[in-house]
Amino acid sequence: MSMELELKNMHMRAGDQLKVKGIVLHDAERFQIDLGCGADDLALHFNPRFHDDTDGAVLVCNSKTDGCWGDETRETHNPLQRGADVKLVLKLAGDVFEVELPGGHEVQFPNREGMDVISYIRITGDFKLTSFKIC
């Protein structure tokens, strides 16, 4: 069963971290973590996919401005596994987002729009959220 958590009027700034713990569902196709100022303005769309038609298991990152997607980046090494307990740490480090993954892996994605405050967070998809923390 797919889940969705949507938070508005947040206040996450450069240097802050979003720590997410959960379980990737056994039959997961994908899930996503979105950071921005609204559903149509996302500074980071982090989207692990477990059965992508092009690349198989892949990590996709993108941004969305005024409802229009930018050019996605694809990391073909996806250390996330179906059925696994995972901890993800997403950091806004000024001009870049850093996503810490299990096994010491990290993905970086540019802060294309230069957002200095994240006020919108959404986590949705084939993921069972067990812990959520902004610090």
Token couple for 79: 């250390």
Q: What is the pTM of this model?
A: 0.95
- The CATH number of the domain holding residue 118 is 2.60.120.200
pLDDT digits 0-9 by tens, 96-135: 999 999 999 999 999 998 999 999 999 999 999 999 999 9
Higher-confidence position of 3 and 81 = 81
Kindly state the average pLDDT of the residues 11-35.
Answer: 96
Total count of domains within the chain: 1
72 lies in which domain range?
3-134
Predicted confidence at residue 1, as pLDDT, reads 59
| Residues sharing a CB contact under 8 Å with residue 111, sequence separation 6 or more, in sequence order | 43, 44, 92, 94, 95, 96, 97
